[in-house]
A = this chain, B = another copy of it.
Protein backbone atom coordinates (compact mmCIF):
# COMPACT_ATOMS: atom_id res chain seq x y z
CA UNK A 1 0.00 0.00 0.00
CA UNK A 2 2.35 2.74 1.24
CA UNK A 3 2.24 6.48 0.95
CA UNK A 4 2.24 8.29 -2.37
CA UNK A 5 5.07 10.83 -2.05
CA UNK A 6 6.23 13.67 -4.29
CA UNK A 7 9.34 15.84 -3.98
CA UNK A 8 9.16 19.26 -5.61
CA UNK A 9 12.76 20.32 -6.14
CA UNK A 10 14.08 16.76 -6.23
CA UNK A 11 17.30 17.56 -8.08
CA UNK A 12 18.56 20.16 -5.57
CA UNK A 13 20.86 19.56 -2.60
CA UNK A 14 17.97 19.06 -0.14
CA UNK A 15 15.92 17.07 -2.69
CA UNK A 16 18.73 14.56 -3.16
CA UNK A 17 19.13 14.26 0.59
CA UNK A 18 15.37 13.63 0.98
CA UNK A 19 15.66 10.76 -1.46
CA UNK A 20 18.54 9.23 0.48
CA UNK A 21 16.82 9.64 3.85
CA UNK A 22 13.43 8.28 2.76
CA UNK A 23 15.26 5.10 1.89
CA UNK A 24 17.59 5.11 4.89
CA UNK A 25 14.68 5.54 7.32
CA UNK A 26 12.48 3.00 5.53
CA UNK A 27 9.74 5.58 5.08
CA UNK A 28 6.75 3.62 3.73
CA UNK A 29 6.88 5.03 0.21
CA UNK A 30 4.19 3.49 -2.04
CA UNK A 31 4.95 5.59 -5.09
CA UNK A 32 7.36 8.46 -5.64
CA UNK A 33 7.14 11.40 -8.03
CA UNK A 34 10.22 13.53 -8.57
CA UNK A 35 9.39 17.07 -9.66
CA UNK A 36 11.73 19.84 -10.74
CA UNK A 37 12.03 22.74 -13.15
CA UNK A 38 11.68 22.19 -16.91
CA UNK A 39 15.47 22.41 -17.09
CA UNK A 40 15.94 19.25 -14.96
CA UNK A 41 12.95 17.33 -16.31
CA UNK A 42 13.94 14.22 -18.21
CA UNK A 43 16.80 13.37 -15.87
CA UNK A 44 16.55 10.19 -13.82
CA UNK A 45 17.32 9.70 -10.14
CA UNK A 46 17.67 6.46 -8.21
CA UNK A 47 15.45 5.53 -5.24
CA UNK A 48 15.65 2.10 -3.62
CA UNK A 49 17.45 0.70 -6.63
CA UNK A 50 14.85 1.98 -9.06
CA UNK A 51 15.40 4.68 -11.71
CA UNK A 52 12.73 7.36 -11.49
CA UNK A 53 12.27 10.02 -14.16
CA UNK A 54 12.21 13.68 -13.10
CA UNK A 55 8.99 15.38 -14.24
CA UNK A 56 8.35 19.08 -14.65
CA UNK A 57 6.63 20.66 -11.64
CA UNK A 58 3.14 21.90 -12.57
CA UNK A 59 -0.31 22.56 -11.19
CA UNK A 60 -1.42 19.02 -12.03
CA UNK A 61 1.58 17.26 -10.48
CA UNK A 62 -0.25 16.29 -7.31
CA UNK A 63 -3.15 14.09 -8.38
CA UNK A 64 -3.31 11.06 -6.07
CA UNK A 65 -0.35 12.25 -4.02
CA UNK A 66 -0.57 11.96 -0.20
CA UNK A 67 2.55 13.89 0.81
CA UNK A 68 4.63 16.52 -0.94
CA UNK A 69 7.99 17.81 0.19
CA UNK A 70 8.58 21.26 -1.28
CA UNK A 71 12.21 22.33 -1.53
CA UNK A 72 12.34 24.38 -4.71
CA UNK A 73 12.47 27.87 -3.19
CA UNK A 74 9.84 30.23 -1.81
CA UNK A 75 8.48 31.27 -5.18
CA UNK A 76 7.69 27.71 -6.29
CA UNK A 77 6.17 26.97 -2.89
CA UNK A 78 3.93 30.02 -3.07
CA UNK A 79 2.89 29.09 -6.60
CA UNK A 80 2.29 25.36 -6.21
CA UNK A 81 1.89 24.37 -2.54
CA UNK A 82 -1.72 25.63 -2.26
CA UNK A 83 -2.69 23.51 -5.30
CA UNK A 84 -1.08 20.47 -3.69
CA UNK A 85 -3.06 21.05 -0.48
CA UNK A 86 -6.30 21.56 -2.45
CA UNK A 87 -5.73 18.28 -4.25
CA UNK A 88 -5.69 16.55 -0.84
CA UNK A 89 -1.97 16.17 -0.18
CA UNK A 90 -0.20 17.19 2.99
CA UNK A 91 2.67 19.57 2.23
CA UNK A 92 5.90 19.82 4.21
CA UNK A 93 7.44 23.02 2.92
CA UNK A 94 11.16 23.64 3.32
CA UNK A 95 10.99 27.22 2.03
CA UNK A 96 10.36 30.35 4.09
CA UNK A 97 7.13 31.14 2.20
CA UNK A 98 4.64 30.15 4.90
CA UNK A 99 6.72 29.81 8.05
CA UNK A 100 5.41 32.87 9.83
CA UNK A 101 1.75 32.39 8.93
CA UNK A 102 -0.35 31.87 12.02
CA UNK A 103 -2.28 28.97 10.50
CA UNK A 104 0.89 27.12 9.52
CA UNK A 105 2.73 25.05 12.14
CA UNK A 106 6.50 25.57 12.15
CA UNK A 107 7.89 22.42 13.64
CA UNK A 108 11.01 20.78 14.98
CA UNK A 109 9.68 17.38 16.04
CA UNK A 110 11.93 17.09 19.10
CA UNK A 111 10.78 20.54 20.31
CA UNK A 112 7.17 21.34 19.41
CA UNK A 113 5.50 18.27 17.84
CA UNK A 114 2.19 19.33 19.42
CA UNK A 115 1.99 22.20 16.90
CA UNK A 116 1.33 19.59 14.20
CA UNK A 117 -2.09 18.84 15.66
CA UNK A 118 -3.59 22.00 14.23
CA UNK A 119 -2.20 21.81 10.69
CA UNK A 120 -4.46 22.51 7.72
CA UNK A 121 -2.58 20.58 5.10
CA UNK A 122 0.59 22.60 5.22
CA UNK A 123 3.49 22.36 7.67
CA UNK A 124 6.59 24.55 7.45
CA UNK A 125 10.10 23.22 7.97
CA UNK A 126 12.21 25.84 9.79
CA UNK A 127 15.34 27.56 8.52
CA UNK A 128 18.42 25.34 8.77
CA UNK A 129 20.32 27.55 11.23
CA UNK A 130 17.21 27.94 13.38
CA UNK A 131 16.87 24.16 13.68
CA UNK A 132 20.53 23.54 14.51
CA UNK A 133 20.60 26.30 17.15
CA UNK A 134 17.24 25.39 18.72
CA UNK A 135 18.12 21.72 19.10
CA UNK A 136 20.57 22.92 21.78
CA UNK A 137 18.64 25.92 23.07
CA UNK A 138 15.24 24.26 23.58
CA UNK A 139 16.33 21.70 26.22
CA UNK A 140 18.21 24.46 28.09
CA UNK A 141 15.18 26.73 27.87
CA UNK A 142 12.96 24.01 29.36
CA UNK A 143 15.43 23.67 32.20
CA UNK A 144 16.10 27.31 33.04
CA UNK A 145 13.97 29.67 30.91
CA UNK A 146 15.52 31.48 27.95
CA UNK A 147 15.78 35.26 28.39
CA UNK A 148 18.08 36.29 25.57
CA UNK A 149 20.08 34.61 22.84
CA UNK A 150 22.99 35.85 20.76
CA UNK A 151 24.10 33.73 17.82
CA UNK A 152 27.18 34.08 15.60
CA UNK A 153 26.73 31.57 12.81
CA UNK A 154 29.29 29.71 10.73
CA UNK A 155 27.14 28.54 7.80
CA UNK A 156 28.14 26.06 5.14
CA UNK A 157 27.90 26.47 1.37
CA UNK A 158 25.14 23.84 1.16
CA UNK A 159 22.69 26.35 2.63
CA UNK A 160 22.84 28.13 -0.72
CA UNK A 161 22.27 24.93 -2.69
CA UNK A 162 24.15 22.33 -4.69
CA UNK A 163 25.65 24.89 -7.05
CA UNK A 164 27.18 26.79 -4.14
CA UNK A 165 28.85 23.60 -2.90
CA UNK A 166 30.34 23.03 -6.36
CA UNK A 167 31.40 26.69 -6.54
CA UNK A 168 33.30 26.42 -3.26
CA UNK A 169 35.25 23.46 -4.60
CA UNK A 170 35.88 25.17 -7.92
CA UNK A 171 37.08 28.34 -6.21
CA UNK A 172 39.41 26.46 -3.87
CA UNK A 173 40.88 24.62 -6.84
CA UNK A 174 41.43 27.90 -8.73
CA UNK A 175 43.17 29.54 -5.75
CA UNK A 176 45.42 26.52 -5.15
CA UNK A 177 46.42 26.54 -8.80
CA UNK A 178 47.36 30.21 -8.51
CA UNK A 179 44.36 31.33 -10.52
CA UNK A 180 41.41 33.61 -9.85
CA UNK A 181 38.40 32.46 -7.84
CA UNK A 182 35.09 33.46 -9.44
CA UNK A 183 32.24 34.43 -7.08
CA UNK A 184 29.63 32.01 -8.54
CA UNK A 185 26.61 31.56 -6.27
CA UNK A 186 27.88 34.19 -3.79
CA UNK A 187 28.63 37.88 -4.26
CA UNK A 188 32.31 37.18 -3.44
CA UNK A 189 34.45 34.05 -3.64
CA UNK A 190 33.87 31.93 -0.53
CA UNK A 191 36.97 29.70 -0.70
CA UNK A 192 39.55 30.79 1.94
CA UNK A 193 37.21 33.68 2.77
CA UNK A 194 34.17 34.54 4.94
CA UNK A 195 31.02 36.34 3.79
CA UNK A 196 29.18 38.07 6.66
CA UNK A 197 25.90 38.52 4.85
CA UNK A 198 23.25 35.86 4.20
CA UNK A 199 19.97 36.86 2.61
CA UNK A 200 18.49 40.19 1.61
CA UNK A 201 19.21 43.40 3.52
CA UNK A 202 16.41 44.70 5.75
CA UNK A 203 15.78 47.98 7.54
CA UNK A 204 18.07 48.41 10.49
CA UNK A 205 20.93 46.58 8.79
CA UNK A 206 19.73 43.07 9.60
CA UNK A 207 19.72 40.36 6.93
CA UNK A 208 16.84 38.09 6.00
CA UNK A 209 18.64 35.12 7.54
CA UNK A 210 19.14 36.97 10.82
CA UNK A 211 15.47 37.96 10.97
CA UNK A 212 14.35 34.40 10.15
CA UNK A 213 16.42 33.10 13.02
CA UNK A 214 14.78 35.54 15.45
CA UNK A 215 11.20 35.15 14.30
CA UNK A 216 11.34 31.39 13.89
CA UNK A 217 13.01 30.82 17.26
CA UNK A 218 10.29 32.89 18.91
CA UNK A 219 7.51 30.98 17.14
CA UNK A 220 8.91 27.48 17.75
CA UNK A 221 9.68 28.13 21.43
CA UNK A 222 6.38 30.03 21.81
CA UNK A 223 8.35 32.91 23.33
CA UNK A 224 7.25 35.99 21.40
CA UNK A 225 9.27 38.27 23.67
CA UNK A 226 12.56 36.39 23.50
CA UNK A 227 15.42 38.80 22.84
CA UNK A 228 17.52 37.44 19.98
CA UNK A 229 20.33 38.94 18.00
CA UNK A 230 22.17 37.05 15.26
CA UNK A 231 25.10 37.72 13.00
CA UNK A 232 25.12 35.20 10.16
CA UNK A 233 28.32 34.41 8.31
CA UNK A 234 28.96 32.09 5.38
CA UNK A 235 32.14 30.01 5.86
CA UNK A 236 34.12 27.88 3.38
CA UNK A 237 32.74 24.57 4.62
CA UNK A 238 30.67 22.26 2.39
CA UNK A 239 27.66 21.12 4.41
CA UNK A 240 27.45 21.49 8.17
CA UNK A 241 26.31 24.65 9.93
CA UNK A 242 27.85 25.77 13.20
CA UNK A 243 27.02 28.54 15.66
CA UNK A 244 28.49 30.16 18.74
CA UNK A 245 25.61 30.82 21.13
CA UNK A 246 25.23 32.96 24.23
CA UNK A 247 22.06 32.00 26.08
CA UNK A 248 20.94 34.04 29.06
CA UNK A 249 18.51 32.19 31.32
CA UNK A 250 16.06 33.22 33.99
CA UNK A 251 17.34 30.68 36.47
CA UNK A 252 20.88 29.55 37.21
CA UNK A 253 21.95 26.56 35.10
CA UNK A 254 25.42 25.29 35.71
CA UNK A 255 27.36 23.81 32.79
CA UNK A 256 27.44 20.27 34.22
CA UNK A 257 23.66 20.27 34.61
CA UNK A 258 23.27 21.71 31.09
CA UNK A 259 25.50 18.99 29.69
CA UNK A 260 23.42 16.36 31.43
CA UNK A 261 20.16 17.82 30.12
CA UNK A 262 21.49 17.98 26.58
CA UNK A 263 22.87 14.44 26.75
CA UNK A 264 19.33 13.23 27.46
CA UNK A 265 17.69 15.30 24.72
CA UNK A 266 16.62 13.40 21.58
CA UNK A 267 18.57 14.30 18.44
CA UNK A 268 21.39 15.92 20.40
CA UNK A 269 24.83 14.57 21.11
CA UNK A 270 27.14 16.25 23.60
CA UNK A 271 30.68 16.42 22.19
CA UNK A 272 32.43 18.29 24.94
CA UNK A 273 35.87 17.12 25.93
CA UNK A 274 37.93 19.97 24.49
CA UNK A 275 41.05 18.96 26.41
CA UNK A 276 40.98 15.80 24.30
CA UNK A 277 40.06 17.81 21.20
CA UNK A 278 36.47 16.62 21.17
CA UNK A 279 34.07 19.43 20.26
CA UNK A 280 31.44 20.04 17.58
CA UNK A 281 32.94 20.33 14.08
CA UNK A 282 31.54 20.39 10.52
CA UNK A 283 33.85 17.53 9.64
CA UNK A 284 32.28 15.17 12.18
CA UNK A 285 28.72 16.53 11.96
CA UNK A 286 28.46 16.24 8.17
CA UNK A 287 26.50 13.18 7.06
CA UNK A 288 25.17 12.47 10.56
CA UNK A 289 21.74 13.05 12.10
CA UNK A 290 22.26 14.46 15.60
CA UNK A 291 23.18 18.05 16.36
CA UNK A 292 26.47 18.26 18.25
CA UNK A 293 26.81 20.58 21.26
CA UNK A 294 30.04 21.36 23.05
CA UNK A 295 32.36 23.98 24.56
CA UNK A 296 29.59 24.42 27.13
CA UNK A 297 30.53 26.81 29.94
CA UNK A 298 29.23 29.67 32.04
CA UNK A 299 28.91 33.01 30.27
CA UNK A 300 30.83 35.30 32.58
CA UNK A 301 29.45 38.36 30.83
CA UNK A 302 25.85 37.91 32.03
CA UNK A 303 23.95 37.05 35.20
CA UNK A 304 22.84 33.50 34.51
CA UNK A 305 24.03 32.36 31.15
CA UNK A 306 25.82 29.77 29.11
CA UNK A 307 28.01 29.91 26.05
CA UNK A 308 28.36 26.92 23.73
CA UNK A 309 29.10 25.81 20.17
CA UNK A 310 26.78 23.72 17.99
CA UNK A 311 27.24 21.85 14.72
CA UNK A 312 24.61 20.14 12.60
CA UNK A 313 24.40 18.80 9.08
CA UNK A 314 22.55 21.53 7.21
CA UNK A 315 21.10 19.11 4.64
CA UNK A 316 20.03 16.51 7.23
CA UNK A 317 18.70 17.90 10.51
CA UNK A 318 18.80 21.41 9.05
CA UNK A 319 16.47 20.43 6.20
CA UNK A 320 15.66 16.95 4.83
CA UNK A 321 15.77 14.95 8.05
CA UNK A 322 13.57 17.42 9.94
CA UNK A 323 11.06 17.41 7.06
CA UNK A 324 10.89 13.61 7.05
CA UNK A 325 10.54 13.49 10.83
CA UNK A 326 7.53 15.79 10.45
CA UNK A 327 6.06 13.46 7.82
CA UNK A 328 6.70 10.44 10.04
CA UNK A 329 4.55 11.99 12.76
CA UNK A 330 1.85 13.13 10.31
CA UNK A 331 1.58 9.64 8.88
CA UNK A 332 1.88 7.83 12.18
CA UNK A 333 5.31 6.45 11.56
CA UNK A 334 7.03 8.61 14.16
CA UNK A 335 10.36 7.29 15.28
CA UNK A 336 11.09 9.97 17.87
Give A contacts to B, CB under 8 Å. Answer: 148-150, 152, 154, 169, 172-173, 176, 187-189, 192-197, 201, 204-207, 214, 227-229, 231, 233, 235-238, 242, 244, 246, 255, 274-275, 277, 279-283, 294-302, 307, 309, 311
Chain B residues near A295 (CB, 8 Å)?
196-197, 205, 231
CA A236 – CA B237 in complex, angstroms? Answer: 8
CA A227 – CA B246 in complex, angstroms? Answer: 13
CA A287 – CA B172 in complex, angstroms? Answer: 19
CA A197 – CA B274 in complex, angstroms? Answer: 7
CA A95 – CA B176 in complex, angstroms? Answer: 31
Chain B residues near A283 (CB, 8 Å)?
188-189, 192-193
Q: Are A280 and B227 in contact (CB under 8 A)?
A: no
Which of B192, B201, B280 is close to A282, meaning CB atoms less than 8 Å apart?
B192
CA A285 – CA B284 in complex, angstroms? Answer: 30
A interface SS class: mixed
Return A159 CB to nearest CB of chain B, in Å: 15
Q: Are B242 and A282 in contact (CB under 8 A)?
A: no
Return A324 CB to nearest CB of chain B, in Å: 26
Chain B residues near A187 (CB, 8 Å)?
277
Chain B residues near A205 (CB, 8 Å)?
255, 274, 295-297
Q: Are B277 and A236 in contact (CB under 8 A)?
A: no
Which of B154, B188, B297 is close to A281, meaning CB atoms less than 8 Å apart?
B188
Q: With A195-B281, A197-B279 given, can you name 17 additional A-B contacts, CB distance below 8 Å?
A: A150-B246, A150-B301, A154-B154, A154-B233, A176-B176, A193-B237, A193-B281, A194-B235, A194-B242, A194-B311, A196-B279, A196-B295, A197-B277, A205-B296, A227-B301, A236-B237, A246-B246
Which of B193, B235, B279, B298 is close to A204, meaning CB atoms less than 8 Å apart?
B298
Chain B residues near A280 (CB, 8 Å)?
196
Task: Given the known inter-chain contacts A188-B283, A301-B148, please indicate yes or no for A307 contacting B229, CB distance below 8 A.
Answer: yes
CA A299 – CA B248 in complex, angstroms? Answer: 14
Which of B189, B233, B255, B277 is close to A188, meaning CB atoms less than 8 Å apart?
B277
